[in-house]
Structures are given as C-alpha cells and as structure tokens.
Structure 1
Amino acid sequence: MFDASRARRWTGFLLLPLLGVLTWGLSRPPPEPSSHRRPRAKRTARTPAPRSPPVLLARAPPPKAPPPPAPIRRTRPAPSPRALRLHQLGEKLGTLTPGMENPCVTPSEERCARTALGPFFDSLDALTSGTATAPTVISAFGNSLIAGDRIVDVVREELSGAFGDSGRGVLLVDRLAPYGPRARAGFAQGEWEPRTLGELQLAPLPFGISGVYHQSVSARARSRFTLEGEPRGTLWWLDAPEGGQLSVHSQGQVLATTEPQGDGQARSLAFDIPAGARTLDVVADGKGAVVLGVVLQRSRPGIVLDTLGVPSSDANLFLRSNEDLFRAQLAERSPRLMLFILGGNEAKRLEWGRSNLEEVEEGLRDFVRRARAAAPGSACLVVGPIDAVRGGTGPQRLVQRPYLDEVITVERKIALAEGCAFFDIFSAMGGEGSLARFIEAGLVHDDLVHPRGQGLDLLGQLITDALLSAWVEEGQVSTTEAVP
C-alpha cells in the first residue's frame, strides 16, 4: 500500500534544495548590461620587474597652470569739476591732447607682456577690482616746480579721487622757506634750519630720497602735524654727533623716543598712533637734532604720492644723496611708480656754460639707474621740461631758451633706453610759445620761469591725463606693434 506520510517526507526532502537554489537566484542583483566579453586569459606567474629608485616629486610633470584671471575693464574715470575747468583753460591756451610713450619692455609672441608703466597699471587694476591689499606709492622727484607741490598735488588728488586715498606719505618737518604751502610739511616756527642738496655748497650731513633735512636750532624745537586718521607713522632721523634725542608725542602721550649714539647713521623709527588722535608733535630735546622726514599714511589701499622736489636741482645734484641711505629709504617706500620731472635747470646750466650735454645725459642715466636699483618692482616715467623763455626786456624777452630741444631729446633717449616711459610736456603745453601764452594769461611769476596758480594746476592735469589715457590704451593693446 502507498504510505502517504512517507511520500510527504520524501517530497519535502527533494524540494528543499530546489527552493534554496530558487531563493539564491532571486536574491542576486541583476547583471549589468555589457558588451561581448572576451574570454579571460589564463593566468600565469609574473616575473617581478627590477626595482627602480622612487620618482622624485620634483621630476613629475608640473601641474597645468590655472587660466589667467579675466582682464580688468579699464574705463577712464569721470573728470572732476576742477579737471573740467582746467580742460577749458587748456583749450584757451592751446594745449594739446597729451600723449605718453609707454614702450614694451617684455615682448611676447602674441602681445606685449609688459610695458614700462605695467607695474603701476597693475596696481591701478588691483585698486579698481578691489583686490589691492596695500597703498600704491608714487615717488615724484623734481626741481622747484615739484618742491612747490602744486603740480603733483593735482596728480595726487585726481588719482586719489578715482582710486582711493591712502594719505600723504613722506613729509618734511617744516617748509623749505618762510613762504609757500604746508600741505607736505609740519608747522614749526623758525626752530628748524633746512638744508638741501640744491645749495651751491654741499651741506655737511648726508641726504636721503627727499634731498632735504632739517636741523634743530634751539632746544625743545617742535613741529606739529595734523593727523588724518593714520594708524602708524615713521620718523626718519640722522644720528648726528651731539644731535641729542628726538621724541614723538600725540595728545600728551609719548609715542616713540630715539636712542642716539652719535655715530652719524641714518635710522628709521616706527610708531603707532592712538585712534582718534588729531595732532602729532616731533620734538628735539636739544640743538643739532636732524630730521630727514616723517612718513604718515593709512594702511588701506589707495594712492600715496611722495613729493621729493628740491629747488635748483637737476639729476646730477640728486646724485649728491648718500647712495646707501637713498636706496634704503626708497626700498622702504616701495613705490609702484617713480616720476622724474626734470630738465629746466639742465637747460639753463647748458645756456650759462656750466654744464654740457654729456654731463646731462650721464647724470640722468645714473640717477634713473640708482632709483631703479632701489625699487626694481617700480614703473618709471621721465617727464621732460616745460617751455622756457629768456627773461629781461626787449625783443628777446619771450624767446625760447636755447638747449631746450636738446634736453628733451636726451631725456627721451635715456627714458626709453632704461625701460621707462616718456612724457613730452613741452609738446603737450603747445610747444614753442606756449609759456608766452601762460605769461599773457597771468599764470607765470614775474621771473618768467615758474608758473603759478592755475598754470601749475594745468601742468599737473596734463600729466594726470597722459597717465590715465596710457592706462586705458594699454588695456586695449593686443600686439607689440601697437605699443609705441
């Protein structure tokens, strides 16, 4: 007979493996679709390769350079109300649209990699884009036209209005004469004697980049500076023998004190300025203390222009500065643009037979090279002399001085040879006869040499316009041939 219970036991015994297989098959993930697979090769033992030295990281191929940042769109800043007035004045006096020779100093296959003014223009780009982290310093060397400060004051104020203001920079402890503005100097009442490298007889103590020093003529000589929110300052002083101590005060608080040793060395003393302080005093304890300058500027990005003008100076006289001191101070300032606004005194000395063209050329070349060695990261711009006329009376009164064209030619030659830009302000004024038009408009002093008032402002505007035009035009250059 058929045993049902035994049959059920055998059926369960046979179905258990089959159910296991089905369960395993259903639990597996579905295979990924693929192309026709090649049969796997038979594995064989691999002979180990000989060991080689590890690859040095330096030998690895360099990573791919990131793409360059998008170029800054350079747009000419809107002219200030003063600039508009000066443009109208220039039209009446026959000035021309100023042009700048900004040569290519680093050519490449497709475009000019660097122009003479490139480092300064890069700083303007950083100020425009908001990526700048420090002030952009301009160092302006020159003669009495620059010492009066009004020409470069226009350059400073126009650029600061467009790119930001970072303060005043290098200041003198007092004016160079009892007259003139105090914008670049402290206020002292005859207690300091100025000495300059422009004097006929060389002063006994060394000069720095300003070409000026002030020595106290009485105990407790004092000079006061009005503060404009500067957080820090620097006192440049000379450790003259028996010069005595100098101290810096603000709001009744002593901020810094020198420690003189009488070794004749120039020193730099930095100090912090309390927040909200309104004035700063530099005090000499005794007679004979020497101040080379006071640096006051803000730490925020913007424009700072150092006025480094000396009356009666030329490039050869600037070489009277102590070379080590000159280089140390200029390196400390770390300018992005150096202006050399010279030539008028060179032309006069050529006319008077006190110099020759070879000396003029050699002096300017050496001066530019010294400055560039101290600030190798700076751009440089040589500005030629303005129009000049003979003085006196009669038919020769307003005739152009001789040697002016020769000096312009020499300065242009040196500028382009030394990798600097060149600006012919004589041509921008309107060329020969332009100073006579300034004189007829009452814009020149009675000496027929020094412009005054708006005449100086107009010269500063010509330099500013030339710089801004060159900045915008350089951003549009695509080939080296397009760069003058």
Structure 2
Amino acid sequence: MALAVGLSLAPIPEALRPIPSLAKGPVAPQLIALVTTSSAASKRKAVGVAPDGESNAPEVPELPEEEEDTPELVQANPSDAGTPEPPPIVAESDSLGLAKLGPAMRDAALRMESLREKMGAQHVDIEPGCRRMGASGCEESGLAPFFDALDGLHDGIRTQPVRVEHLGDSLIASDHITDMVRLRLQERHGSGGKGFLYIDRPTRSGRGVRAGTASEGWEFTRLIDRAPPKDRLPFTGVAFAAGNAGSQDVRFGIDDARTAEIFFLAQPGGGSVQVLADGKLLQKVQTRWTPAEVAFAPVKLPAGAKTLTLKTRGKVELHGVSLENGNPGVVYDTIGLPGAYAGVFLRAHRPYFRSQMRHRKPSLVVLMFGGNEAFRLSRDWTKPEEIKQEAESLVKLVRESVPDSACLVMSPIDAAIRTMGGDLVPRRSSREVADIFRQVATEGGCAYWDALSAMGGEGSAIRWLAAGMLNQDLIHPRAKGSDLLGHLFDLAIQRAWASSHTQHGAIEPTGIQNADKALTATFTRLHSLEKGENSRLGVLQMGASHTASHYFTDALRTPLTKRFGDAGRGFIAAGKASDRLKPAGVSRELTGEWTMEDALSAATPGQAWGLSGVRAVGAPGASLSIRFCDGCTAATTPPARLSLYWLDGPGVGQMEVKVDGSALPPEPPPPEPFTSPTVRIRSFPVTGPSHEVAVLNQGGGPITVLGAALDLEQPGVAYDAVGLPGATAATVAGMDAQALAAQLSSRKPQLLVFWFGTNESGQPDLDAEKLRTGYGELIARLKKDSGGAECLVIGTTDRLQQRADGGWEEAPGLQQVVTTLPEVARAQGCAYWSARAAMGGARGMVRWQREGLGHADGTHLTPGGYEKLAGMFLSDLLAAYETFKAQPPALAAEGR
C-alpha cells in the first residue's frame, strides 16, 4: 500500500500510477475504496497467474457502476440540467441513419447528435470491404451476409434470429457501446432476446448486465491470464469451474426468453447441473464425456417464468448461458475481456473456438481491438509486424470458423497520456494501429469502421476528458462517451444497410416534411392556445379504414386537447352502434328500418354523401340517436353548439328532432323546394359537452341522416375523423362536390389531414399519373371549400400480401404510391408524414405483426398498433411545432 501511494504521488505518467487520481483528491477515501475493492475481489478465486492487464497494465477495468454516469439510451430527457432543447426535424434524406427508430429512441438519438456536434465527433461510414472478388470486381461486400439476414427478417422469410458476435477488450466488457447498438438494432429489426451471458463477471468489476448472479465459490480461468491452459478455454474467453469449492449456483433473469442454452465442457469425471425455473426443476444436465469437448444443452422455459437457476454437483465447468425468445430478430452477443488484444483470443483452444462460434451461427462477427495493441506499441512491448500478424490470424480464424458470416474490424479509439510535466498529449500509436487494422480488414475480406476518426481523431480524448466523457485513466470513455460511440457505430451500420438493399426502393424520410412552410397558421393557432389566448384549431382528417376505425385519431385527440384545450368532440357520422366509439364517450343507436349506404357501393357517381362517404336512410317510424360524452361528468359547462346534418329534397319524410329528449320546432321549409338532394345543417345552442340528438321519421317518405357534431365555444382543438373503409382519394373525388363543400364550410377546419394511399397500393393496375393528378385536384378543391385551410398528407402504411409459400411480399402498387404521395403533397403546398417510414419502411408490417401491432391481413393495424403510430405522428408534429416556436418572432408571425 505504501509503495502504491508513493508511486501514485510521484511525477510519472498518469497511466502508470497505481491509483491514477490520488494526486487530485483526498487520500483517505481513495485508500479505503482501494482496500474495499481488493477485499471484495478476493471473495472469488482466479485460477492461474496474474493477467496481462495486471502485470503490464495496458488497460484497467471500467469504473464500478456507482461511479459511472448514467447512460442515456432511450430516456425522454437528457441528463443535463435545464430545459432541453426540442430535437430538430430529421433531414429529408435521412443521411444520418435514423430511419426505423421509434419516437423515444429517435429523440434520444437526436440529442446524441447535439452531443456529437459539441464534442467534434464525426459520422464515419463503414468501409464495406469485399468478401468475394470476381472478374468484374467485388461481387460480394464484407457485410453482405449480415444485410441479407436483416432483409430476410423484413421479408418475413427468416425464421431464425440474426446473431452478432462482438469480440473485444474492456471497451465492451461491461457492455457499453454494444448496449446502444443492441437496443437500436432490436428496435429496427425486432428482438431475438438477450443472447449470451457469462456465469459471472470475469473482471470482478463494472456492470453485471451481461452475466448472472453467481455464488462466490466459482473459480475461473481467462484468456487474459498470462499462461492459460491452451487445451480448454473456449471462444467466450472464460471458463467457470465449480469442482474444488463444492456445489455452486448462478441465477439469471428470464425476461421474455422462451429457450435457454447452457454452454459447458463435457469432460471425463464431469458432474451434473440442475436446471430450475422459479425454483422448480426442469431437467438435469450430465457433463461426463470422453474425450473432453465443448457441449450445449438446450432448455425450454415455461411461460411466465421469472428466473433461471443452475446448480452444480461435482466437477463442472460452465462457459455461459444464452437466453432467446424464439422470435426472428436480432441477438447481439458481447464477448469482451479487459486487457485483451487480438493475440489474446488466439489463445483459445482452436477446436473449442470453432465449435462454439459455429454453434452460434452468427450473421456478423465484430472484432473490436486495438487499444491494448496501441498501448503495448507505445511502450515498445510489441512491433507493428506482430500486431498485424495477430490481427490477420484472428480474422483468418473467424473466417474459417464461420465462412458464411460477415465480419467487421473496428479501429482503436483515441487515448491520451500525461507527460512528466503534467500535460496531456494524444497517445502516439493509436492511428498507426488503426491503419494496420484497416489493412487487415481489407486483405481479410472484412468491413472496417474507423472509430478513432468517429470519436474526433487524434486529440479527441483530451476534449472528452474535459467534458467528463472520459475516465481519469485517459483510456476508457465514461457511460455517456460510450453511448456516443455506440450511437455513431449504429448509424454507420444503418446507413450501410440502407445503401445496400435497393431492391426495396429508397428509404422514405421520417418526420414531418415541409412543416415550416405548410403548417405556419396551424402552429400559430396552437401557440396562441398555449399562451391562453382566445383561439380555436379545427382539424378534419379524411381517409379510409385507418381513419374510420377512430383508434388513430382518438389517440391524437386526447393529448392535443389536454395540452391546448378542448373545443369539442366534433363530427360523428351517422351509423350503427360501434364499440370503437365507446372509449371517447360517443354512442350511436338505430331503431327500426334503416339502410346504411356508402359511396363505394353507389351505382352512379356524383351522389350526395356525408363527410365520411356514408348516409343512413330511415323508413317511416325509424329513429336514430347520437350521444356525446355519454356517461361522463363534465367539470365545466361552457356554451356549445350541437349540429345535425341531413339531406333534404323531393319525397323526404317528415323528421322530428329532439335534443336531450326535448322536441324542437320543425325546421322552416326552404323558400324554394329542393329539386335534388341537398345538405341541410341545423345547429342548436346547448351548454357543456354531454348531449344527445335524436331524429324520428314521422312518415311521408324516407329520411337521410349524415351525422351530427358537438362544438364547445371555448379555446381549444376540435379533431374530426371522417373515414370510409376501402375508400381511395378517387372515391371522395366522385362524391357530390356541392354537398361536401357545404359540410366543410360548416365545420370550418383550419387544417385538413388526408390519409389515402393504402387501398391504392393494393391495385395491381394502379395509374400513378392519374393518382397524382386526381389526388392533387381533390386536395386543391377541398382546401378552397374549407376557406383556405392548410393541409397535411399522411403517406400510406406498409402494406403486404401473403404469397403461396407463406412469406410476405409488397402490395403491387405500393412503390408507386410511396413515390407519388410526397409529390402530391409538395405540389399542393401540404406537409407530408410517411406512416410507412414510421413503421420502419420496407417490410415494416412484418415486424409490427411480430410485435402484435400489425393485423394478420398485412394491411391494417391492431388497436395498439394504431395507438403507437399515432404517438409517432404526434411526436413528430409537436417536434415541428417546437421548432416553429424557436424561430425568431418575425418569422413565426408570418403565419398569423
């Protein structure tokens, strides 16, 4: 201890101090922490001699959990104090690689972008490398097998998980960097489960997220030990033995896992392992075998189980456990050892390495070394030729073990050293090792990612240290720094994948496009409402079944009215009773003989319909009622307006109207009798949000009811949803224009939302030019009929149809619709939001089906799916609104 203190206070480089930060703080607490750590570490016995990391100190373990800053993976708010700035809108080209991320993770990624700019970090593309050369050049890139596997997930034809094996040093030993990449990949492509977990933390420090909770008597041997037995260690780098210290156990949280696989050594005299789920015995695994070889024991986990426990008896050696949920998705294994370099993993027993690697069937193997090579090179403990030879040998071993897998080599990141004078300077050998690794990757047929340049190049470690993103050892990033590196690596993977799978067409932009120009008046009204001014925003959404279901619009209406005020439930089409309306407190009832008619089934075009394209025709004696806020107790009772929409004309019956059970005087006849069906609208002053309007056909002919509306005369948002299942934009264009104009004039929307395209995408003979022209003319006409409303076009959701072999393929007109709708929106001055991009783009429906969000028909969503999609839309809309508010006042005022 005295020697450690003396050396730590001596004028030597910081990296060589036994207690690096001793000279910068109180001595006593650090000595206590050192003694406590040593005592805790002694509870487990490491077999063999001291590891390289202890004798040569190329790297040290990461700080304990309690000393790390909290990583920001998907938190809604950054950890910095103060009010967070709103995230910027994603660029239309999505050049960053943010496609397919959900709102929360994308917002966190955008905050990471702000941090990246602050730190001077860079977006560095992956160099794809070449797996196979041909007469015409490279015929297969280094990442082709990985990208093909991801495409298989999105095509719905892959039934196995896409596994990634990430081998490396202390930068990933505690699952930093890789945790960010894992979360992002599983967000985009689905999760296959936790993947491989160690029995215990082999480094005795850092986070335990990739290991079980083990008893204290496990003995373990590691590849980082200076002289590990070469005939027994696996590719996972650690063997956990339970023979000499008696029976041992380890417990894992199951989460969503449905299968477990135990990695162990079958050996002469081997004992047994009891496998328990929530304390109940599932099976017993015998490990006795001659000759010794690595083995695997699959275990099916019971539904609802919480914990998996392994209990040993006799001589047992375990290597780890893999937990997977049985779904096609991404499984990302982290195999990291502090102090490791490429040569360390060459110490593994080759047959064991090959057997376990092949058993995992990875689609991608990532090799993340270089930091310890650079350290060793800076101390003249190795030579560039030796570094290259070891890296080449490891790449060759991986390629021979899993020849059908992609491989990717990463460079070391930047590090710094402290001079004798106390100055910080970049570690001189990091770039040299990075260049060696690039050459190894190129010659070995692997992709390459320059993490050093992504971090900001040589000298960036010094900036990161000053910003609190690097540990005092000048080598290891703290949690937020690791998150940033994971963020940059993930986006590099996404960009590479997006550029590789052109067979699905271009990736659509995410976020609200053209919002700054198309929604100025809308955002101005929202801002007025937020400031408490007397204003109103009427929104009317027209569409097909996505709109008609009300799930999407109800999920929007609630948060909008809560934040900006409630201006009433708005328009409700006439119709039968519907459970979909109950959550919003709306109910409908038809009594007697009624016929429901719609514009899709009309024998001739040009007929008069309600806003939703339907009408209810009642025979004499039939009655209809629509209730608003049914069963609710209103906190306030503002003045309101209850309106009834119906068709008048030749031969109509006599209609009695009641409001809240009280009959109203008959409507005065028009000055001139109607010669054709004509929209009539009658409004009644009421108080509060809870009301019923009812009509009764008293005879003389049929009556035709279109709907009713309730508007509160107070500041707020009113969101009308008028949709007809199966409709297209052409369906609405074929309806009587005068009838639509009369109803739109009554509703007075300031924003029209159009959501067509899903049904058009199912048309094998779709005429894209006709869609472009017809849809554009419809939008222009309805904007005019609404008194100059702004407009927003929602693009189609992903739509698939099932093939004979059970797989899914795109609907025949989908690509034409995806290309045409943004053009229509742009030509009409509308904002545009791609629902398909929000779902993850091409084959997004397959993933949503897997997660219980997409309907089995490949076209519709489940209620939960509509709610999730609405949340994504609302997040993007409010992000655009926050950007609008951040404009200089003169610009923001232009929309008023």
TM-score between both structures, scaled by the size of structure 1: 0.78
Q: Distance in 1 between matches of 2:234 and 2:178?
A: 20
Q: Does 2:99 match 1:76?
A: yes
Q: Does 2:169 match 1:143?
A: yes
Matched with 2:417 is 390
Could you report, residue by residue, the CA deviation over 1:277-299 in whole angstroms, capped at 9, with x for unpaired residues? 1111111114x521111111122
Q: Does 2:371 match 1:348?
A: no
Letter in 2 for 1:329: Q
Q: Distance in 1 between matches of 2:234 and 2:359?
A: 12
Letter in 2 for 1:345: N
Q: Distance in 2 between matches of 1:398 and 1:131?
A: 54
Q: Distance in 1 between matches of 2:220 and 2:289?
A: 23
Matched with 1:266 is 294
Matched with 2:247 is 220
Q: Does 2:128 match 1:102?
A: yes
Matched with 1:248 is 275
Contact between 1:199 and 1:312, CA under 8 Å: does it hold in 2? no
User: Any idea what SS the aligned residue of 2:461 has?
Assistant: helix
User: Any idea what SS the aligned residue of 2:213 has?
Assistant: coil
Aligned structure 1 segments of 4 or more residues deviating by more than 6 angstroms? 108-111
- TM-superposed deviation, 1:175: 1.2
Matched with 1:32 is none
User: Any idea what SS the aligned residue of 1:77 has?
Assistant: coil
Summarize the Cα distance change of 1:259–1:471 in structure 2 as closer, same or farther, 3 Å threshold: closer
Q: Distance in 2 between matches of 1:181 and 1:428?
A: 25
Contact between 1:80 and 1:158, CA under 8 Å: does it hold in 2? no
Between 152-161 and 268-277, the greater mean CA deviation after superposition: 268-277
Letter in 2 for 1:149: D
Aligned pairs for 1:404-419 within 5 A = 404-419=430-445
Letter in 1 for 2:100: P
Between 344-353 and 203-212, the greater mean CA deviation after superposition: 203-212
Summarize the Cα distance change of 1:382–1:241 in structure 2 as closer, same or farther, 3 Å threshold: same
Q: Distance in 2 between matches of 1:414 and 1:278?
A: 44
The gaps in structure 1 that reach 5 residues or longer are 1-73, 478-484
**Cα RMSD (Å):** 2.2
Q: Does 2:324 match 1:301?
A: no
Summarize the Cα distance change of 1:111–1:77 in structure 2 as closer, same or farther, 3 Å threshold: farther
The gaps in structure 2 that reach 5 residues or longer are 1-96, 504-896
Contact between 1:238 and 1:266, CA under 8 Å: does it hold in 2? yes
- TM-superposed deviation, 1:181: 1.9
Aligned pairs for 1:183-194 within 5 A = 183-194=209-220
- TM-superposed deviation, 1:321: 0.4
- TM-superposed deviation, 1:233: 1.6
Q: Distance in 2 between matches of 1:241 and 1:450?
A: 42
Matched with 2:388 is 361
Could you report, residue by residue, the CA deviation over 1:171-213 in whole angstroms, capped at 9, with x for unpaired residues? 1111124432222111013231332101223257621121112
Matched with 2:500 is 474
Between 253-262 and 294-303, the greater mean CA deviation after superposition: 253-262
Matched with 1:198 is 224
Q: Distance in 2 between matches of 1:212 and 1:81?
A: 38
TM-score between both structures, scaled by the size of structure 2: 0.43
Contact between 2:221 and 2:228, CA under 8 Å: does it hold in 1? no
Contact between 1:243 and 1:262, CA under 8 Å: does it hold in 2? no
Letter in 1 for 2:175: D
User: Any idea what SS the aligned residue of 1:80 has?
Assistant: helix
Letter in 2 for 1:335: P
Higher normalized strand content (fraction of residues): 2
- TM-superposed deviation, 1:378: 0.7
Letter in 2 for 1:170: F
Residue 466 of structure 2 is aligned with which of 440, 446, 449? 440
Q: Distance in 1 between matches of 2:223 and 2:403?
A: 24
Q: Distance in 2 between matches of 1:241 and 1:204?
A: 17
Paired residue total: 402
User: Any idea what SS the aligned residue of 2:194 has?
Assistant: strand
- TM-superposed deviation, 1:411: 0.5
Letter in 2 for 1:270: P
- TM-superposed deviation, 1:443: 1.3
Contact between 1:443 and 1:453, CA under 8 Å: does it hold in 2? yes
User: Any idea what SS the aligned residue of 2:442 has?
Assistant: helix
Contact between 1:191 and 1:218, CA under 8 Å: does it hold in 2? yes
Bigger Rg, structure 1 or 2: 1
Matched with 2:197 is 171
Matched with 2:235 is 209
Residue 310 of structure 1 is aligned with which of 334, 337, 350? 337
Contact between 1:258 and 1:269, CA under 8 Å: does it hold in 2? no
Q: Distance in 1 between matches of 2:270 and 2:99?
A: 50
Q: Distance in 1 between matches of 2:297 and 2:418?
A: 46
Contact between 2:294 and 2:356, CA under 8 Å: does it hold in 1? no
Letter in 1 for 2:354: R
Q: Distance in 1 between matches of 2:133 and 2:290?
A: 51
User: Any idea what SS the aligned residue of 2:453 has?
Assistant: helix
